[in-house]
Amino acid sequence: MNNPHDNRNEVVLIDGGRIPFQRSRSGYNDLKAVNLSRMALEGLITKSGIHPSVIDLVVMGTVIQEVNTSNIAREAALAAGIPAEVPGYTVTMACISSNLSLTSAVEQIRSGKVGIAVAGGVETMSDVPIRFPRSFRKKLLAAQKARSIGDYLSFLFSLRPSDLFPDAPSITEYSTGETMGESCDKMAAKYGVGREEQDNYALRSHQKAAEATEKGWLDDQLFPVSFPPDFNLIRHDNTFRADSSLEKLAQLKPAFIKPYGTVTAGNSSALSDGASAVLVASRPKAEELGLKPKVAFRNWTYVARQPDDELLIGPALAVPRLLDEAGLTLDEIDVFEFHEAFAGQILTVLKALDSNKFAKEKLGREKKVGSIPLEKFNSWGGSLSLGHPFGATGTRLIATAANRLHHEDGRFALIAACAAGGHGHAMLLERVEES
């Protein structure tokens, strides 16, 4: 296997960013996912200053696919002016889809087959594909064989009112039938994470996002966009609540398990639209093109478990594995960027990492992994406040972690995320010093 610390095989992040995330049915209400991903690619190309012709590969992640643009990486790349000779493919792994798009691109570069690549992800909840029920789809497909008036009449008389009720995508686990919110509620209760603790954390996330926006810390990763017919410029996320308070959060009712659940709309990530992208290259290719890398990709891991009452515990399984492989401890990490699906989810993960009981029962270790200092954790906001367009969150985390490493003069950054299906992911980045 290639040695990632060999400069010939070292893969570095040149730059990254995203279009501002928007609450669903707001800023991007009239746009398709392909429009969002095109704008992210255009923003990345403009910001990095590269010519599209130097790109060797485009990989993107998404979750709810539109059938007409199922390989959205290819369609977005063509729309963004990337040469037709550059291949593109799309991956999906629930909420870590763009993490997967990135590691797929990095692996291609490490293999020597690719020199420079774009990876990213996109999601819109404002334009989800709505299908007819399976009963109607079967009748419609059968009707394609109709040849006579009698055949067409048989088709029409076979229809029932229930055939015509739309079948919208359901955000549930196929294997269990439960929503993520229900699973999170159960997990939080199991680990003793209460409502007040969740609301406090949610408020922190919104306050951190508001502060980072106000102080301009997010500007380097935001690609302002405008589009017809109004061409109103969107500069910032509209997902965080700068005026949120514990009093307001406390008034919200349980969203999933009623009446005693602790997960509410206020301590959950909101349905959001957005796209993100990063530019990655081999170290020699970056030097050849005169590009300054921000961070190097050291290692990553993906894990999975039974999608039951601990559906979202994945990061607590992935992080220790990654640290062991890297020979590091939590104390040596300077920047933590973890996906916040729900306040209850992220607090449970932090609690599990700091639990000897969890270490013994779930990790086969004698001692806990350790406590993560909150002053190093998601200090520019997180998915609870910045939004969570499913396929775009992973590369948003990467770009933020890279920028924070330089802003906070750190060396190592640790990214982690949970995902549907009982998945978890963790990644280690190391800052590249400016020469």
Pairwise CA distance, residues 278 & 412, whole Å: 18
Rounded distance between C-alpha atoms, residue 71 and residue 426, angstroms: 26
Is residue 231 in some structural domain?
Answer: no
How many domains, the chain?
A: 1
pLDDT at 169 over 80: no
Residue-wise pLDDT tens digits, 276-295:
999 999 999 999 999 999 99
Question: pTM of the prediction?
Answer: 0.94
Give the pLDDT confidence score for residue 370 in this predicted structure: 98
> Is position 234 within any domain?
no
| 22 within some domain | yes
Assigned domain for 206 exists: no
Q: Is 434 part of any domain?
A: no
**Which residues constitute the domain of residue 369?**
11-128+270-429
Provide the pLDDT for residue 7: 63
Per-residue model confidence as pLDDT tens digits over 330-354: 999 999 999 999 999 999 999 999 9
95 a catalytic residue: yes
Query: Residue 83 above 70 pLDDT?
Result: yes
Task: Clarify whether 184 is annotated catalytic.
Answer: no
Give tens-digit pLDDT for 205-233. 999 999 999 999 999 999 999 999 999 99
Q: pLDDT digits over 394-422, tens only?
A: 999 999 999 999 999 999 999 999 999 99
- Among residues 31, 39, 40, 95, the one annotated as catalytic is 95
Query: Is the bond preceding residue 259 a cis peptide, omega within 30 degrees?
Result: yes
C-alpha angle with apex 310: 305 to 314, nearest 5 degrees?
50
Q: Is residue 384 part of a domain?
A: yes
CATH code of the domain containing 287: 3.40.47.10
Is 203 inside a domain boundary? no
**Active-site pick, 11, 418, 426, 427:** 418
Q: Are strands 116-123 and 57-61 parallel, antiparallel or unpaired?
A: parallel
Evaluate if residue 8 carries a pLDDT over 70: no
What is the token pair recorded at 300?
Answer: 């990553």
- Pairwise CA distance, residues 140 & 338, whole Å: 45
Q: Is residue 277 part of a domain?
A: yes
Query: Is the per-residue pLDDT at 2 higher than 50?
Result: no
